């Protein structure tokens, strides 16, 4: 498996995939190999179908399923040159409906349920800035510009850099965390091995915190990013500014958050209010 993993890693680099995408694909393929108990090179469509069934039973989101499928597709179509093994795969679509968002009170409960200071501050930062999980996990201390009140995101989606706000309260939280934890340089959030914090370990910590807080099992790091955008909208921040902070290429993506803000919807006036009607008698 190590040799195959190395070949796939080389192919991903040659194909120009982002570092985070490479990690996701390699991790997904390792999970697959562990599940079938043999190297993917020795596996065929029967083993892949069993793996797909296993993923379905885990009730992963459509996005997570697509990541696993994309990893298998790359492995068999590119690295192993056996595209027929994954020819039956169809890309899962997101279920219709409104995105899941927590209230401000629920966000507070969730953050307080994170017992380890590192993860409490880590997810506090995600909620306070709207960063993606991969972006927050790779932050370095030099990225925190306290003088200008900004955080420099160097590892954005599509390798794009951007700036996000650093409020006084978040800065104070980060300083207290730094004095207490002292993560190894250059990382703002580090693993026990001295590398940047493992996104999957952080995801697991959030899942356990959600359970302790009695919240919906759908709580993920991306939900906190949604909460950031939705709560900004409710506070009156315009869509264009939120689009820039989130790093969205299209404002249509940002506009989706307007659909899940109960406060905004409740404050929308009805044309009925302007009608000149006599009251019922």
Domain ranges in the chain?
2-86, 104-265
**Mean pLDDT score, 159-175:** 90
Q: Which of 41-50, 127-136, 152-161 has the lowest mean pLDDT?
A: 152-161
Please tell me the predicted confidence (pLDDT) of residue 234: 82
Best CA proximity match to 40, nearest among 25, 55, 57, 53: 25
Which carries the bigger pLDDT value, residue 155 or residue 258? 155
Q: Is the pLDDT of residue 102 over 60?
A: yes
Active-site residue, 208 included:
no
Catalytic hit among 154, 157, 162, 203: 157
d(CA 271, CA 42): 66
Of 118, 120, 196, 225, the active-site residue reads 225
Rounded to the nearest angstrom, the gap between the alpha carbon of residue 16 and the centroid of all alpha carbons in its chain is: 21
Choosing from 27, 82, 152, 222, which is the catalytic residue? 222
Closest CA to 223 of 57, 70, 111, 75: 111
CB 260 within 8 A of CB 226: yes
27, 49, 152, 248: which one is catalytic?
248
Which pLDDT does position 252 carry in this prediction?
75
The dihedral over CA atoms of 228, 234, 238, 243, expressed in degrees to the nearest 10, equals 20
- pLDDT of residue 175 exceeding 90, the answer is yes
Do residues 100 and 226 make contact, with C-beta atoms less than 8 angstroms apart?
yes
pTM for this prediction: 0.65
- For the ranges 43-47, 141-145, 153-157, the lowest mean pLDDT is seen at 153-157
Of 189, 146, 205, 193, the closest CA to residue 171 belongs to: 146
Residue 244 · residue 162 · CB < 8 Å: yes
- Residue 80 CA to residue 172 CA, distance in Å, equals 51
- From residue 126, alpha-carbon distances to 80, 139, 193, 224, 246 in Å are 38, 11, 22, 7, 11
Average pLDDT of 63-87? 93
Task: Classify domain 104-265 by CATH architecture.
Answer: Orthogonal Bundle (1.10)
Whether the CB-CB separation of 144 and 151 falls below 8 Å is answered with: yes
Active site residue 222: yes
248 is catalytic: yes
Catalytic-role residue among 132, 196, 226, 231: 132
Name the pairing type of β-strands 150-153 and 144-145.
Answer: antiparallel
What is the rounded average pLDDT of the residues 3-16? 92
- Asked about 177 being catalytic, the answer comes back as no
Catalytic residue status for 93 = no
User: Is 82 part of the annotated catalytic residue set?
Assistant: no
CATH class of 2-86: mainly alpha
Beta bridge partners of 150: 145, 165
């Amino acid at each position: 498996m190590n040799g195959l993993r190395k070949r796939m890693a080389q192919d991903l680099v040659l194909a120009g995939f982002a570092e985070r995408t490479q990690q996701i694909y390699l991790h997904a393929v390792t999970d697959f190999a562990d599940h079938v108990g043999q190297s993917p090179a020795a596996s065929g469509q029967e083993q892949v179908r069993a793996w797909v069934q296993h993923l379905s039973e885990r009730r992963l989101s459509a996005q997570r399923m697509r990541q696993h499928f994309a990893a298998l597709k790359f492995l068999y179509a590119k690295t192993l040159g056996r595209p027929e093994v994954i020819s039956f795969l169809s890309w899962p679509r997101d279920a219709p409906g409104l995105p899941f968002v927590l209230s401000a009170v629920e966000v507070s409960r969730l953050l307080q349920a994170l017992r380890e200071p590192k993860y409490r501050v880590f997810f506090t930062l995600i909620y306070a800035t709207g960063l993606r999980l991969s972006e927050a996990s790779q932050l370095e201390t030099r990225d925190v510009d306290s003088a200008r009140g900004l955080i420099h995101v160097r590892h954005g989606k599509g390798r794009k850099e951007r700036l996000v706000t650093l409020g006084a309260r978040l800065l104070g939280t980060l300083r207290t965390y730094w004095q207490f934890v002292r993560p190894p340089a250059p990382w703002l959030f580090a693993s026990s091995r001295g590398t940047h914090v493992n996104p999957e370990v952080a995801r697991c910590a959030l899942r356990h915190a959600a359970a302790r807080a009695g919240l919906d099992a759908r709580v993920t790091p991306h939900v906190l990013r949604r909460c950031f955008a939705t709560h900004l909208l409710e506070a009156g921040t315009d869509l264009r500014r939120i689009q820039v902070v989130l790093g969205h290429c299209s404002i249509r993506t940002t506009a989706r958050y307007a659909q899940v803000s109960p406060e905004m919807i409740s404050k929308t006036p009805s044309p009925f209010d302007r009608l000149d009607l006599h009251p019922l008698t």
